[in-house]
Structure 1
Amino acid sequence: MTAPDDSSTSPAAPSADTQTTKIPTTVITGFLGAGKTSMIRHMLENAGGKRLALVINEFGDLGVDGEILKGCGIEGCGDDDVLELANGCICCTVADDFLPTMEKLVNRAEKPDHIVIETSGLALPKPLVQAFGWPEVRTRATVDGVIAVIDAPAVADGLFTSRPDQVQALRESDPALDHESPLEEVFEDQINCADIVVLNKTDLLSADALDRVVTDLKAKLRPGTKLLRAAHGAVDPEVMLGLGSGVEDDLAGRPSHHDDEEEHDHDDFETFAIDFDEPKSPQEIIGRIQPAVERHGVLRVKGFASVAGKPMRLVIQGVGGRLQHYYDRELRADEPRGGRLVVIGETGLDRQAIETAVKG
C-alpha cells in the first residue's frame, strides 16, 4: 500500500461546534465486487478502540455483505453495530431508510465515534452525500470523506464497459460522440465523488498491467484525489478516517453524470436470487456457476451454501468470470441446508437459463 503525502491526509481542524455535535461519517463506495466488505472487515480489526457504526446497503434481496460482517467473529462487533438497509441502493431509499437509520445512530446513548456507510456496487454516492444537507442530519453528522474502492483486475480487463473494444473504436472514429455505457457512468461517478481512491486487488496484476491501470486512473481523478494501492482491502484506518472533508459542502466540485437529473434509477441493471440444493463439494457448485456467468455476461454473483458433510458455511463471490469461495463460520442448527445466490447484471439477463445452469 502506498500512502498519500502527509499534506493531503492531515485533516483540517474541525470547529469546536463540529467536534461536539457532528459525528464524522465515511462513505465507502465502489463497483461490484471491488472489495468494500473486505476493507470494512480490516477496518474493524484495526479500529484501535474506536466505536464504529456500520450501515450496510444491498442491491438485491439477500443481505450477503451484512451477513459476512455479522459473522466476522471480531471481538466487540455485535449485530447492533451493523445496520442493514434492505431493497435498492441507498441513494434511492433515502426517504424511507436512510434518515431513520441515521437518527437511530446519532440518538444512541453511547454515540459512535465514527459512522461508516457501505453503498451497494450500483449506487451513486453523490445523492447520498446530498442527504447530509437535510435538516434532520446536517446538525448531527458530517461526511468526513468518500472512499472509492476499485477492482484493479476488472479495470485492466475493461469490465466497466459492456463492449469495451466496440466502445473504444466508436470513440476513436468520432470524438464528438459520447458512447459511455451505464457501467462507465456508475464507475466514473464513484471516483469523481471520492477523496481517496483505493486500487484494490493489486496483487492479482503484473507490474506492467498495474502501471497501465494506475496511469489511466490518475488521468480520470479530480485534482487532489489520492490514489492508494492495496490487496485484500488492507488499508490503515488512520489513512481513511479523520479526513475532515465536509463533503456535503463541496458537492459542486464533485461532478456527476446525473447532476442535471431530478432523480435517477437503476433500470439498466437487474438482480435476482436463485435457491439451489446442497452441493456435494465447492467445486461442484462453482463448476455450475462459472460457465453460466461467462456465457450470459453476469456482472456479479454472491451468496452462501452448505456443503454435504461439512459443518461450515460456504461463501461464494465473483466479479465477471473470477469466482472465489471460502468457509466463513459454522452453520447454525436452525439454518436450512442448501444454497442461495444473488445474480446481478445489466437488464436483459436470461434468468431461466442462468437458474437452470446453477441448479444443475
Structure 2
Amino acid sequence: MTSLIRVPCTIVTGFLGAGKTTLIRHLLENAGGRKLAVIVNEFGDVGIDGEILKGCGIEACPEDNIVELSNGCLCCTVADDFVPALDQILAREVDHILIETSGLALPKPLVQAFQWPAIKSRVTVDGVVAVVDGPALAEGRVAHDMDALDAQRAADDSLDHDDPVEEVFQDQIACADLVIISKSDLLDATAAETAGARVSAALPRAVSVVRAAGGKVDPGVMLGLGLAVENEIENRKTHHDDELDHDHDDFDSFVVAIPEITDPAALAARVTAAAEAPDVLRVKGFAAVAGKPLRLLVQGVGPRVSHHFDRPWKAEEARRGALVVIGLKGFDRAAVERALLG
C-alpha cells in the first residue's frame, strides 16, 4: 500500500442504543479477507464499546487495530485525537477503517474534518451509515420516554422547546448514504411500515434503507461505496450549519462503579429502573459476577435491557464493574445512582 492510495473510511453514526456496535462486530466477523480497523468514539469516561469489540477475538481486526477515544466528539479535537488515531492505524496498513461515532455526535463536522490536509491525503470517507432504532421509531420516538420530555417542554415556557434528541437524529439522517433500521426482528409488519415511514420522512434525498436484525448486514452493502463524501458534505444541510462551533451541552454523562454482584437478573432490574428515570437516555457497562470467570455486559435503553457474558476476565484485570449513564443535561444523577446500586 503506497502513500498515494487513500484508505476508505466508513462512518457509522446513530443514536444511543441503536445497534452500532453490534453492526460493526458483524462486519468484523464477515470481513471477507479485508484487514479492518476501528476507531470507537465514546461519550463518557469508560470505553464500553471498544471493550466489547476488543473481546471478540476476530482475526480480521486484532485488538491493536481498535482505537478508543473518549472525548465524546472526534471532530472537536481533530489535531489532538483524530490525527494520532489515524497515524496509529495507518501504520498497520489496513484496507478499511470503521469509525463508530458517539451516539450524541453530529456526523457532518466529522466528515468535514477529512478535508484537513493532514487527513485528506491519506484517507477518504467511503460512506456514512446511520443506524436507527426500529422499535423506537415504530413507537413514534427516537429515544425512550420522549412523551414525558415533550410534555415537560409544553408545560414550561422557560424551557427551550427545540428537542436536541430530535435534532441529533435528523442531522444523522441528513448526512447518511445508507440507513439501517435495526432490531427488525422486534417489528411486526405494521411497526416495520411505521418505522420505515419515519425514516423516509426525515430523509432529505434518496438513499438506500435496509432492515437488519442482530446487526446482520452484508458487508458488500456497507463497504466499498466509494463516495468520497468529504468532497460534497457541504451540500448536506443540517440543523447546525449556521453554527461556527457546536457542543454537547444538551447532554451529560457519569460513571457508576459497580461492586461484584451475585445475581445478573437483579442488576438488570436495577438498570431497567435507572434507564426509565426521566431524561436518562442510555445505561451501558460491565459487571463482575461472583464465582463466574466471564465478564457480564449490560445494556439498557428505556425498558429494553439486555445482559450476557461476553468474554473471560483477563488475568491482569481487576474484577471491577462500571456503568456509564448518559442523559439530557440536568437529569437526577443521585436518583439514578441509587437505582443502580440498590
Q: TM (normalized to structure 2)?
A: 0.92
Q: What pairs up with 1:282-293 in 2 under 5 angstroms?
A: 282-293=264-275
Question: Is 1:73 aligned to 2:57, yes or no?
Answer: yes
Q: What pairs up with 1:16-35 in 2 under 5 angstroms?
A: 20-35=4-19
One-letter amino acid of the counterpart of residue 128, structure 1: L
CA contact (8 A) 1:167 1:180 kept: no
Q: Which residue of 2 aligns with 1:331?
A: 313
Question: Is 1:245 aligned to 2:227, yes or no?
Answer: yes
Question: Is 1:303 aligned to 2:272, yes or no?
Answer: no
Q: Which residue of 1 aligns with 2:88?
A: 104
Q: Which residue of 2 aligns with 1:61?
A: 45
CA contact (8 A) 1:317 1:324 kept: yes
Question: Is 1:182 aligned to 2:164, yes or no?
Answer: yes
Q: What pairs up with 1:154-233 in 2 under 5 angstroms?
A: 154-160=136-142, 163-164=146-147, 167=150, 179-233=161-215
Q: TM (normalized to structure 1)?
A: 0.88
Give the paired residue count: 335
Deviation per CA, 1:17-60: give whole Å up to 9, x if none. Answer: x9942111110101001111111111011111101111111000
Q: Which residue of 2 aligns with 1:115?
A: 97
What is the CA distance between 1:160 and its match in structure 2? 3.0
Describe the SS at the equivalent of 1:111.
Answer: coil
Aligned CA distance change for structure 1 residues 210 and 66 (closer, same or farther; 3 Å)? same
Question: Is 1:257 aligned to 2:236, yes or no?
Answer: no
One-letter amino acid of the counterpart of residue 74, structure 2: I
Q: Which residue of 1 aligns with 2:78?
A: 94
Q: Which residue of 1 aligns with 2:108?
A: 126
Q: Which residue of 2 aligns with 1:10?
A: none
Point out where structure 2 has 5 or more consecutive residues left out of the alignment.
155-159
Describe the SS at the equivalent of 2:176.
Answer: coil
CA contact (8 A) 2:137 2:198 kept: no
What is the CA distance between 1:235 and its match in structure 2? 0.5
Aligned CA distance change for structure 1 residues 74 and 271 (closer, same or farther; 3 Å)? same
What is the CA distance between 1:96 and its match in structure 2? 1.4
Task: Give aligned-pair identity as a percent.
Answer: 55
Deviation per CA, 1:55-113: give whole Å up to 9, x if none. Answer: 1110000000000000012234322110111222222222310112223333x1x5211
Rounded to whole Å, the distance in 2 between the matches of 1:345 and 1:316 is 17
One-letter amino acid of the counterpart of residue 334, structure 2: Q
Q: Which sits farther off after the overlay, 132-141 or 191-200?
A: 132-141
Rounded to whole Å, the distance in 2 between the matches of 1:40 and 1:287 is 28
Rounded to whole Å, the distance in 1 between the matches of 2:303 and 2:107 is 26
CA contact (8 A) 1:29 1:190 kept: yes
Aligned CA distance change for structure 1 residues 86 and 166 (closer, same or farther; 3 Å)? closer
